[in-house]
A and B are shown apart, each in its own frame.
Chain A
Amino acid sequence: MGHILQFTVLGLANGTIYALIALGLSLVYKATRAINFAQGEVGTLAAFIAWELIGRHHQNWVVGALAGLAAAAVVGYVMHRFVATPMREASRVSLTIATLGVAFTLYGLEAKVFGSSPEVLPPPSLGFQGVSVAGYLLTPVYIYAIAAAVIASATLGVVLRRTRFGLGVLASAQDSDTARLLGVPAAKVSAFTWVGAAVLAGVAGLLAGPTQGVIYPFFMSGTLLFRGLVAALVGGFGDLPGAVYGGLIVGLVEAYSIEAFVHYPGLPEVILMALVLGVLLVRPRGILARGAA
């Protein structure tokens, strides 16, 4: 019993990181109806920038983290300005493929600048060893992850629901032409979306680096991006609260299937694939969505 509780805690803790990735994916999906495949690689870039300062130049963790987030924000702005804006009229499939191009550009640049060998990004320190929950020691990085997921979703919720600008973002997501005619600044909404998503990716990267053990080019674009996508899908693409509980569900499914199939490494991926096919076939708008597609 205690065993299961431990895996539950671990699953939920990892789930918060997936939730952060899924939040960014859902934000972009809400605004553009495209899937942002660069979401993982922007996180990798932030982790590498942070590593460069913290690991190589022995700067304070906070300095490195802020630099990483700033780099992510710049990439987000570039995606808004030089990819999403010129492709306003393009199909969402084209935009999705373009984000793949951005991911690979970053991948290639990271491999060139930082090399392909794995590096260790040190975890943020809280000055203590962590908190023991149900016999499982939650290291500080997980506490940061939980805090980040709570702060990020709360901030997004407040900005989108309570501010004039945020309502404009939601209006654009519904009908961008009408919103523009009503005076919603389309360029600012787009910039907010892409920079916001990129910063979320950066936060996820800074936290996933330590929990994954090592960072290397593309480390967030494989299994991690996949979990973020599954989380967004489970919660319903474009549904921000859904991204959060989707992340937690994926974390739990992963933790339990690791526990259940301890002798079959990689089998959790098959379980997640089954989850994706199941959700796509039965409840494509998310498992808690009202009404089927």
Chain B
Amino acid sequence: MTPRLWGVPLACVALAVVLPLAGAAGVINQPDIDVFSYGVLAGMLALSLNIITGYAGPVSLGQVAFLGMGAFTTGLVATKLHLPLTLAFLVAVVGSTAVGALAALVVGLPALRLRGIYLALSTFAFADAVDHYFFNVQQLTGLGSGITVPRPHLLGVSLHEASRYVVVPLIGLALVWMFDVRLRHGRLGRALVALRENEDVAASFGVRVAWSKLAAFMASGAVAGFTGALFAYQVTVVNHSSFTFDQSLFYLIIVVVGGLGSRGGVLVAGMLFTALPRWLSFLQEWNFIVASLLLVVTLARHPGGLPSMWAEARDRRALQKGQDDLDAVLPSMGRRRPPKEDERDGSAVGGSARGARLQVEDVTVRFGGVTAVDAAGLEVAPGVRVGLVGPNGAGKSTLFNVISGLVRPTAGRVLLDGVDLTNLPPYERAARGMSRTFQQIGLVKDASLVENLLLAQHCGLPGGPGALFGSGPARRREKEALELAHELLTDIGLASYAEVRVGSLSGGQQRLVELACAIAPNPRLLLLDEPSAGLSPAAAEHLAEQLAAVSESYSTSILLIEHHLPLVTAVCDECYVLDSGAVLAHGPTAEVLRRSEVAAAYLGETRP
């Protein structure tokens, strides 16, 4: 974490010392320093776009409009408020940042209802309206003549010369970089990466999907508005022709070429595609063509861009290296003592680590004309391990989705400790101590093992600005969560793969990580959807041991869907049999599995 946080800011500070001296000594021309400043600002804008499109996923086509709104806010502050130059500068920076964040909030509103691609339309609409209307209001933007923004003095030093002003964008970049690192590697950033990949998985980990997207929009708009303020002082005459719509599209291309989600790549691409054509004029008319061809070729050949190729290579090395350590430990998830109630504040996981009572009452789910679940009812008593078996298509997974909140039932209720959860979204249920796994493995494949385990503790970690700017309590909780993540990884024997992306692991290893994620928040109800699906017999047996160990040492209630009957027998006290959406049988596991109608349902014989 440390080098990632400090490398670029330190370089910025070094350049902020060197460039003014070099400029004063005449070693570097002022125009060259000017071009460099533009490059730095472009890099900052590219980083802001990366927050929405790279981390969270929605395509933003209006980034330059946010930049322009920031720049014109600065213009208004500089010309209308008649403040001393230095004070005006500070007010302008704060004001532009706020305006950018607010504008982005409005544009992001459809995120509350919609997924993915439609958000491109609202950002397009915004960019178009801002470009053709707001930027053409004489009083706001001065139209063709623009608004003159005089550069300030800071601490008694005039920033008029390019070689002095360059310090401002450099410090700006350092701040934006540190903000970006904190954002991405904190609670919000993990949530964004998760929801970009799979919103259902993210929600089951307790992520408020829509609000997280809105937060991403606001963070991105704030950085763009901030950049706009520094840009206004850079150009000194703010003119609406700097913020045309095609620029917004071009930035999107730059960010994809740099590698979506890759901070360094995006920064470099933003700087290069802005600064190089200004230095080398023959590049100017080729700039668009080169960048966009690069984009198309990159996407068609390798959708993740260059950084993802590096990440894959790094994973391969780590996997080879880790192979030796792997067999040395005999992993067991039962070894870890789950925390006692008073060891944790407990508020995050619903107050108590004891198992919860789950009641499912007459739940019916219809998809169009198909009845997937038909008035099914079941109960899991506190601390009891209950199996749910039945043939394919019996409605087991649908019932699971009703319990965890991904599917709204047509009729019926779901209660946890007597509280009706039927209308609560998945993240609310996660916050109440419900934890689940998925048949298709509910992990964020593109994030590392450690990140997944931290994400699993999402509900237990404080959010908001405190977390983003690293307040004391927030840091402490984050540190504890990290320790727990490493402990759990040690328990499943994958400690040496902590930084490897989940997608590089084998199916069996991914199952273990998923199980570790499911117990990381210390759940009161654990929902396991066919944990042995897709595993080899040996891996399934290993998993069964782990599961038995978990259920021995944790007092959580468990509901387990499984086809692999030995696993059910080993783990479950009670068992429900579901057939054609209805409960066929219920009782102690061994007894139920012996009954003839159960065998009939499985083997498809005609029922007596």
Which residues of A does B touch, CB under 8 Å?
Answer: 33-35, 37, 82-83, 86-87, 90-98, 100-105, 107-109, 111-112, 218, 221-223, 226, 229-230, 233, 264-267, 269-270, 272-273, 276-277, 280-281, 284, 293
Contact of A226 among B124, B246, B289 (CB under 8 A): B124
For B252, the chain A residues whose CB sits under 8 A away are 97, 100
Q: Is the CB of A94 within 8 A of B303?
A: yes
Instruction: Give the residue name and chain of the B residue nearest to A229 (CB).
Output: B121
Q: Is the CB of B246 within 8 A of A221?
A: yes
Q: Is the CB of B250 within 8 A of A273?
A: no
Q: Is the CB of A223 within 8 A of B117?
A: no
Q: Is the CB of B253 within 8 A of A91?
A: no
Which residues of B does A touch, CB under 8 Å?
Answer: 57, 59, 106, 109-110, 112-114, 116-118, 120-122, 124-126, 128-129, 131-133, 136, 245-246, 249-250, 252-253, 256, 285-289, 291-293, 295-296, 299-301, 303
CB distance from B124 to the nearest CB of A (A): 6
With A86-B300, A98-B296, A101-B292: A269-B114 Cβ-Cβ less than 8 Å: no
Q: Is the CB of B133 within 8 A of A269?
A: yes
With A35-B117, A102-B292: A87-B300 Cβ-Cβ less than 8 Å: yes
Contact of B117 among A87, A92, A230, A269 (CB under 8 A): A92
> Can you spell out 29 A-B residue pairs with CB atoms less than 8 angstroms apart?
A35-B117, A83-B296, A86-B301, A87-B300, A87-B303, A93-B59, A94-B303, A96-B120, A97-B256, A98-B296, A102-B292, A103-B292, A105-B289, A105-B292, A108-B285, A218-B246, A221-B249, A229-B124, A230-B121, A266-B129, A273-B128, A273-B129, A276-B124, A277-B125, A280-B114, A280-B118, A280-B121, A281-B109, A284-B114
For B301, the chain A residues whose CB sits under 8 A away are 86
Instruction: Give the residue name and chain of the B residue nearest to A102 (CB).
Output: B296
A229–B121 alpha-carbon span in the complex (Å): 8
A281–B150 alpha-carbon span in the complex (Å): 42
Contact of B249 among A83, A104, A108 (CB under 8 A): A104
With A97-B299, A276-B121, A293-B113: A222-B128 Cβ-Cβ less than 8 Å: yes
Q: Is the CB of A272 within 8 A of B128?
A: yes
CB distance from B564 to the nearest CB of A (A): 28
What secondary structure prevails in chain B residues at the interface with A? helix
Q: Is the CB of A266 within 8 A of B132?
A: yes
Q: Is the CB of B299 within 8 A of A94?
A: yes
Contact of B253 among A104, A264, A277 (CB under 8 A): A104
Q: Is the CB of A276 within 8 A of B122?
A: yes
Contact of A101 among B124, B126, B136, B253 (CB under 8 A): B253
A230–B121 alpha-carbon span in the complex (Å): 8
Instruction: Give the residue name and chain of the B residue nearest to A227 (CB).
Output: B128
A98–B109 alpha-carbon span in the complex (Å): 25
A35–B249 alpha-carbon span in the complex (Å): 14
For B133, the chain A residues whose CB sits under 8 A away are 264, 266-267, 269-270
For B118, the chain A residues whose CB sits under 8 A away are 233, 280, 284
For B59, the chain A residues whose CB sits under 8 A away are 93, 96-97
Q: Is the CB of A98 within 8 A of B132?
A: no
Instruction: Give the residue name and chain of the B residue nearest to A265 (CB).
Output: B136
CB distance from B262 to the nearest CB of A (A): 15
Q: Is the CB of B249 within 8 A of A109?
A: no
Q: Is the CB of A105 within 8 A of B116?
A: no
CB distance from A286 to the nearest CB of B (A): 12
Q: Is the CB of A104 within 8 A of B125?
A: no
User: Max chain B CB contacts within 10 Å: which of A37, A264, A266, A281?
Assistant: A266
CB distance from B61 to the nearest CB of A (A): 8
CB distance from B523 to the nearest CB of A (A): 31
For A233, the chain B residues whose CB sits under 8 A away are 118, 121
Q: Is the CB of A223 within 8 A of B128?
A: yes
